[in-house]
Amino acid sequence: MKNFEFVAARSVDEAVAALAQSKGPARPIAGGTDLIVQLSEGRRTLDRVVGLDHVPELHHVSAQSDGSLHIGAATPCVSIYSDLDVRRAFPMLVDSTSIVGSVQVQSRASLGGNLCNAAPSGDCIPTLICLDATAVVVGAKGRREVRVDSFCQAPGRTVLADDEILVELRIPAPVAHEGGVYQRFIPRNEMDIAVAGAGSWVRVDPQSKVITHARIALASVGPTPLRIVEAEEALVGSEVSQEAIERAATIARDEARPISDVRGSADYRRHLVQVLVRRTLLGALQRAGIDTDRVKGGVALGG
Amino acid sequence: MAGKVPVRLCVNGSEYEILVEPRQTLLEVLREEIQLPGSKEGCGNGNCGACSVMMDGLASNSCLILAVQADGKEITTVEGLADGMQLHPLQQAFLEEAALQCGICTPGFLIAANSLLKKNPDPSEAEVRHHLAGNLCRCTGYDKIVRAVLKAAAAMRAESSKEEVSA
Amino acid sequence: MASNYRVIGTRPIRPDGYGKVTGKDQYGADTFLPGMLYAKVLRSPHPHAVIKRIDTSKAEAFPGVEAVCTGADFPTVTSDEAIDSGEETISARFMTALSMANHKVYYKGQPVAAVAATSPAVAAEAVGLIEVEYEPLPAVDDVLDAMKPEAPLLHGDLYTERLTGEEKRPSNIAKHIQQSRGEIEKGFAEAEVIVEREFNTQMVHQGYIEPQAATVQASPDGRLTVWTSTQGAWQIRTQMATILDMPEGRIRVIPTEIGGGFGGKFTPYVAPVAAVLSRKTGRPVKAVMKRSEVFQATGPGSGGYIRLKMGAKRDGSIVAAEAFIAYDAGAFPGSPVGAACLTGLSPYTIPHLKIDGYDVVTNHPRVKAYRAPGGTPMGMAVESVVDEIAVELGMDPIDLRLKNAVGPGDRMTNGVAYNSIGFKELLQAIKEHPHYTAPLEGEFVGRGVACGFWTNGSGTSTVHLNFNPDGTVNLIEGSTDIGGSRASMAMIAAEELGLDLSEVRPQVSDTESLGYNDGTGGSRVTYATGVAVYRACKDALNELKSRAAILLEVDEAAVTFSGGIFRAGAAKEIRIQDVIKQLGKTGGPFEARGVSGSLQRAPAFGASLADVKVDPETGKVQILRWTQFQDVGKAIHPAYVEGQLQGGAVQGIGWGLSEEYSFKDGHMLNPSFLDYRMPTALDLPMIDTHLVEVPASDGPYGVRGVGEVCIVPPPGAIANAIYRAVGVRMTELPMKPECVWRTLQTAQQEQVSETSQAG
Amino acid sequence: MATVIIPSVMRSATGGVEAVHVPGGTVRAVMHGLVAQFPELGSKLFYDKDQLHHYLALFVDGIEVRASQGLYAQVSEDAEIVIVPALSGG
């Protein structure tokens, strides 16, 4: 790897200034578990790297008094899934942050980094989409907020300008009778990149068992993590049933845009989307307090 | 362009002030500059765990950390696991249980297992397997490694309950 | 059963363990010398191309670069001599190409130039400045395509070898092995059940965690000192002498600790490059491979195509087998297809046989040995077909094997007779094992069994013993210790000399301090080096006995030895330690020696018993329970024997379920541990082992090598378990989820169309 | 006399005979004696007077004699010599 200049930022402003003032390509580094591999394999060359390890604003998990959650963008996965508030109120976030690489990787890899890396396979991104998260971005021109479902634009490309950094992720407060689950399919049981991943989130009317809100997002089956609005629309207004689940899973399968590569063929990935959406919807319903035995109907709720 | 920059590292309790290139990983600096080659490079991209070290109390892949990022941090490598001539219970258990063959992955496993036992002194077999999934071993099939970690955990629990009683 | 032994069969802490758990031991990349330079190799981006031009001037001018080398800096070797590369041979003229290409590249990742610089980063940056102009050629990417007459030829001067004579036309088929017995048509005519299947397997990597590394210091007197992690220091010496065209005696190879090998660390990929760069600079040069280089430019295990047809009578006797085996050698001849021809069908007494094996070159990395090289794909084929016959006949799969199993005196497929073997005992042990009879509960679960055979190696080992004034013994051996063999060797010495294990200090020697040693491969160390230790002990006891006679003041003939004590009559005795302590008084120091050679083979049989669960929706297979069986002859250190079985089983599981080289047009698509998926701790259950001990014919204690055969049966056992779980026969390795899913889909569609036809 | 087992693919040179009895005290003598009986075997076994093809190996009473060496090994009166393709691996 070519050498570069390293600037250890002490604040968000310092980090933004260091990016803005760089003469050549520059990137911030949080955990670095993606960026360092890209640099060492020559997939990316930088003039300047801006270290975020010592920026306190970027390292926190803060449950707000209204029940919403703010997470500093450079907070490593381990600090998120070990947080008691997260474990209690945002289990879907635990699903995702606890499967990023190994335990060693989770000590360093950050939630914000997973989003900014914008890999189609980013396991945290479908979850952030399902949880309706907002990204707080600060740049030389000031501060803005971007919804996570429009954050990634292409493999490795986001809405961030060269002088902008992601500062915080904000997740709205959960309400009763909602739940979400993220699952990915990998050949081994850990350490792999998702062949396909699916996050499903629902809110259900406890009396009528009608799904009132739904979000479904997929990983590894498109150039970016995909939100499948058509599948969500098919769910909303339906009473919980195996047919409704299967309909949504089938729509998700048809809407996925996978490619064939070394990790799996396009048709296998489509098939996996259907399986995973079915399974995660069942899991989401369970987390929303629905007794899924009623709807199981021979469908295995597998892992 | 960028030259060398000073970095302060506390490695196995010793303070080091050294000049590094920003592109040097913590692993390279530990091995080549500080000459602690116990941490090994198996893959260079975080998929084998042979380079595992503790940084500020968390097991991390030192191949995926720039040395400049580790500035001011406390690092424990496999060389710092024993207390002088007194082996750590994990080291002792690995020897007794034949939990190593070629031994190249052993430093990483010891570090990862140590980080597990620090937060969970009584892990199940499944928890051990989950926690060690980031460490590849090609010789043992993991069976004896898992047994050694469970044995060390039991020994450490027995030791700490003895300490509690005597305290 | 009460043991006759004091040390053998116990489980002591290995003497070299302390350096390993404290991180102090020196492995291949851990050599640090004053003034050392770092080498980095530039590698071909093309799988097949002519090198038109190399311009190294920019790299040479780069600050920090001390030397650059290309193929022009290596001698031209034209000899066709077969050079011992540890577990296989390679023609001398192809050997240099593995370290440095000249004029042409045959696989992606082949070295084309290298630099030595003051830091690894500078070296890596500088190789990027070397300009190479290539003329790409069409790549041969598949064994069956390579065999076609119209296939592009890799080598214009390669002719098919066969026992009946060489071909006249150049070909990508380097060798055609033919074995036959009886009359194959007659055999199949007698058969009442015939099963024929085709199998496809991919290249796989040994996956040792330590990348290849070497440090070389050239001296003005023409000598080279090489520090490297290898399975065979003497084989590295031979190969480096061939590549550098220099006398072997001028090369000293000092083996470091080795971070795994499994057959893949017999070849000096980077050491010759470091040697050339050291000669140019006069400074020590260290070369360490990156993982992607290890995958693309070292020797993986062979994959290939197998077509197997077997026939049996209703009573279960297998009467005929016909096999077509084509193995991928990679860029230069030398696949282990011969071992596949020999080991696959040899476990069964089959009167009518016909085996054709082909060694085929392609534009892939040149293969090397990988644990029972060649055995595993063929084992998968044979054990799947045998299982299918058992199902067709409604027979228990162990009973079917017992009916056809070979015993002592039966012949292998090449005509060589078996000596003492324990295959039948092994099968009986499986049948009686609680795992075999345990109920299997749940949906989509199945239990499969498969067996495997490996001839095991013997070869030559040299061992010296010398003696310390405190009564202890130093054991000097030349066999690289990859998995605890120093412990076993010390245990044999302690057993024979009546010493405590702590009184024997084992050490692995370099090539200048001990006579010749074959390498650590072919499951030969515990067996052949064990024999050398045993003989060295006998040699030592001869001399020590005469010294004891002096100290006891008796005639030597009156002295007896047992349990560490020399006795003369009832009253006079002296401990061996006390004899050793007083060597100075009784004639001075001496050294005892033992050499092994001309040993009979001590063949090994093993088996895997697997319980799996299949997720039919995704095709993913989970191992629920595993027992590995093996006839080990006699376990010297049972914990390390179990460790070999467990490690071999898990490599076989990885091969079975997830490991493969994915090639596209000669480019490996997955050269990292991320996408080359070796099993993690989370993918496995405990690996139970069951050791059967049928003594081998030759050598002390009845020891057999144990390292290799355990990788042969796992894929077959998994395939047979999948069949019993979901009813489909898997014929591809790895049986990755997509592959299982697709096979299930196909079976479902066939069922639907059959039903609709029937309807 | 030693017994040499001829692999089936070479038996055209021995008129289909599988086991040939040949006198001789060393492997070399036996193999030369074999060629004297069946001259067609000469080029199939040897590429030089005292050099077997490298892709051949001999097993003498179960012990492998490498093609390039061991031609001077002693053979007993009732020895069995099996000609096999040399193996790569193991």
Contact C33/B at CB under 8 A: no
- The per-residue pLDDT for B28 is 97
Which among C527, C677, C587 is positioned nearest to A186, based on CA atoms?
C677
Angle (CA) B78 B82 B86, round 5° = 155
Which chain C positions have a beta carbon within 8 Å of B101's beta carbon?
260, 482-484, 640, 643-644, 647
Note whether A6 contacts B2, CB cutoff 8 Å.
yes
- The per-residue pLDDT for D89 is 44
Query: How many Å lie between the alpha carbon of C375 and the closest alpha carbon of chain D?
Result: 9
Which chain B positions have a beta carbon within 8 Å of A99's beta carbon?
none
Average pLDDT over residues C517-529: 88
- The per-residue pLDDT for A294 is 66
pTM higher than 0.80, yes or no?
Answer: yes
- The per-residue pLDDT for D88 is 53
Note whether A104 contacts B1, CB cutoff 8 Å.
no
Contact A78/B at CB under 8 A: yes
* Dist CA C324 CA C335 (whole Å): 15
In this prediction, residue C81 has a pLDDT band, given cuts at 50, 70 and 90, of confident
| A11-50 residues touching B, CB cutoff 8 A | 29, 31-33, 36-37, 39-41, 47, 49
In this structure, chain C runs to a length of: 759
Digit-coded pLDDT (tens) for B80-96 = 999 999 999 999 999 99
Note whether A104 contacts B60, CB cutoff 8 Å.
yes
Average pLDDT over residues C77-95: 85
Contact C674/A at CB under 8 A: yes
The yes-or-no verdict on residue C125 having pLDDT over 50 is yes
Cis omega (within 30 of 0) for bond into C734: yes
Contact B54/C at CB under 8 A: no
Say which of C263, C416, C457 has its CB closest to residue D84. C416
* Token pair recorded at residue A164: 């902008």
- The per-residue pLDDT for A300 is 39
Q: What does residue A20 show for φ and ψ, rounded to 5 degrees?
A: -65, -35
Digit-coded pLDDT (tens) for C335-362 = 999 999 999 999 999 999 999 999 999 9
The yes-or-no verdict on residue B13 having pLDDT over 80 is yes
What CA–CA distances, in Å, run from C185 to A139, C240, C346, D64? 80, 49, 19, 32
State the DSSP string of A31-72.
S-TTHHHHHHTTS---SEEEE-TT-GGGS-EEE-TTS-EEEE
Say which of A3, A29, A33 has its CB closest to residue B21. A3
Which among A144, A137, A110 is positioned nearest to A124, based on CA atoms?
A110
Which chain B positions have a beta carbon within 8 Å of C22's beta carbon?
38, 78-79, 81-82, 87, 91
CB atoms near residue C408 (< 10 Å): 14
Q: What is the ipTM of this complex?
A: 0.96
Note down pLDDT in tens along chain A; length 303 residues. 889 999 999 999 999 999 999 999 999 999 999 999 999 999 999 999 999 999 999 999 999 999 999 999 999 999 999 999 999 999 999 999 999 999 999 999 999 999 999 999 999 999 999 999 999 999 999 999 999 999 999 999 999 999 999 999 999 999 999 999 999 999 999 999 999 999 999 999 999 999 999 999 999 999 999 999 999 999 999 999 999 999 999 999 999 999 999 999 999 999 999 999 999 999 999 999 998 876 644 443 433
Instruction: Specify the pairing of strand C352-361 against strand C318-330.
Output: parallel
- The per-residue pLDDT for A293 is 79
- The per-residue pLDDT for C313 is 98
What CA–CA distances, in Å, run from C732 to C380, C660, C673, C728? 9, 11, 21, 12
Which chain D positions have a beta carbon within 8 Å of C177's beta carbon?
85
- The per-residue pLDDT for D68 is 44
* Dist CA C544 CA C499 (whole Å): 14
The yes-or-no verdict on residue C83 having pLDDT over 70 is yes
Average pLDDT over residues B2-14: 93
**Distance from chain centroid for Cα B148:** 15
Lowest mean pLDDT among C406-410, C444-448, C603-607, C753-757: C753-757
In this prediction, residue C302 has a pLDDT band, given cuts at 50, 70 and 90, of very high
- The per-residue pLDDT for A297 is 47
| Subunits with 3+ C-beta pairs closer than 8 A to A | B, C
* Token pair recorded at residue A245: 């689940």
D32 with D14: CB under 8 angstroms? no
The yes-or-no verdict on residue B2 having pLDDT over 70 is no
Average pLDDT over residues C117-133: 97
**In angstroms, what is the C-alpha Rg of chain C?**
27
Counting CB pairs under 8 A, whether chains C and D reach 3 or more, is yes
Query: How many Å lie between the alpha carbon of A7 and the closest alpha carbon of chain B?
Result: 9
- The per-residue pLDDT for C576 is 98
- The per-residue pLDDT for C2 is 52
For A266, counting Cβ atoms within 10 Å of its Cβ (0-12 exposed, 13-18 middle, 19+ buried), the class is middle
Lowest mean pLDDT among A124-133, C195-204, C355-364, D17-26: D17-26
Q: Provide the terminal-to-terminal Cα distance of chain D, rounded to the nearest Å.
A: 31
Which chain C positions have a beta carbon within 8 Å of B128's beta carbon?
681
D40 to chain C: closest CA residue? C164
Average pLDDT over residues B37-56: 97
Note whether C334 contacts D85, CB cutoff 8 Å.
no
**Which amino acid, C701?**
Y
Say which of B5, B130, B134 has its CB closest to residue A104. B134
Burial B62-91 (b: 16+ CB within 10 A, else e): bbbbbbbbbbebebbbbbbbbeeeebbbbb
A271 to chain C: closest CA residue? C618
**Half-sphere exposure for A120 (CA within 13 Å, toward CB):** 17
- The per-residue pLDDT for A296 is 47
- The per-residue pLDDT for A292 is 82
- The per-residue pLDDT for A223 is 97
* Token pair recorded at residue A140: 């030389």
Cis omega (within 30 of 0) for bond into A91: no
Which chain B positions have a beta carbon within 8 Å of C204's beta carbon?
none
In this prediction, residue C84 has a pLDDT band, given cuts at 50, 70 and 90, of confident
* Token pair recorded at residue C89: 């041979």
* Token pair recorded at residue C422: 């324990």
Q: Which residue has the higher pLDDT, C753 or B27?
A: B27
Lowest mean pLDDT among C453-457, C603-607, C676-680, D71-75: D71-75
In this prediction, residue C146 has a pLDDT band, given cuts at 50, 70 and 90, of very high
- The per-residue pLDDT for C480 is 93
Say which of C617, C662, C682 has its CB closest to residue A189. C682
